[in-house]
Amino acid sequence: MVYALKFFKNLFVIAILIAAAILAMRYFSHISRTQEANAWQDPQTWTNPDIVEYLQNAPIIAQEPMASYLKRSGFKADFSNKVYIVTFANKAQAVFKPEEYEVDPLPYAEEAAYNASVFLGFPHIPPTTIRTIKDQTGSLQLFVKTDIDLLQNGAFHSFLQRVDQEEFALLKIFYFVFGQWDTSPGNLLSIERENKILPVCIDNGTIKYLQVGPYGTMPFVVVSPYSPTRSTITHLPNLPDKIYRASELLQSNLDISHDALRHLRKVAEKPYSNEHRRFFIAQ
């Protein structure tokens, strides 16, 4: 009887130790995953393909409208389209922008901008991919936390004074080359890394703008692809026969090689259907 009691007592102690070990493993695993998610806030990690793979496949534990989340956090919500913030098990968050109509190029433009930024070594666009959530397909972009709301009075002016000027110049070139003309404060974030204020480009759905150049005394004219009449091109007389993407227009000035341009086009073409490709390839 005594031996039986000792046996069950030892068995109970072993069970307690095993349970404690399992709980400890889960705790440290959770800490490790959370630390991983925190590390993803550093732009230097954004070329890591593991982040995109996680965004594509990791289970989502929560989803809510982005406007509600921003207002609760004390930020302005300056958009009218449907945008959601999703949360993963490792506490990472991402911004989900579903397609709003059958052939909607905006989500694919978001992904194309990120792919191009990786190729160019331009670490200012958060990891972005395409994912289907609750039967809706759209772009999913890593959410970047910041304490600064550039939509607040005076915040954007202060940002322009403090931002690293070299990085901001690169941002302007990137925007021009890829036809991103929607450069409002709502499309940028301000973060601080290594005592530098850096820009983060978070809304790149309009990179499909075209440019005609030269036009008269002007080096280029912006042409919008959104209009049903195929943009303002019909209202501009004596335009050259060929419409150039900015990447072609600036090829000699920026010393972008033919091989690099071809590679960039492949990057932009790869994920898209024929309907989407026409928004990105030079006419």
pLDDT digit string, tens, across residues 103-142: 567 788 888 889 888 888 888 999 999 999 998 999 999 9
The DSSP element (H or E) to which 248 belongs, if any, is helix 246-249
**Cβ-proximal residues to 6 (8 Å cutoff; 6+ apart), any chain:** none
Of 46 and 170, the one with more pLDDT:
46
Torsion-angle region of 133 (φ positive above 0: left; ψ -120 to 50: alpha; else: beta): beta
pLDDT digit string, tens, across residues 230-264: 434 344 444 444 434 434 444 443 444 344 444 44
**For the chain, how big is the Rg over CA atoms in Å?**
24
Q: What is the pLDDT of residue 125?
A: 94
Strand, helix or coil for residue 139: strand
- Of 243, 220, 213, 217, the closest CA to residue 230 belongs to 243
* Residue 132 in tokens: 């289907």
pLDDT digit string, tens, across residues 41-79: 999 999 999 999 999 999 999 999 999 998 888 888 877
DSSP string, 175-191: HHHTT-----GGGEEEE
* Residue 4 in tokens: 């039986």
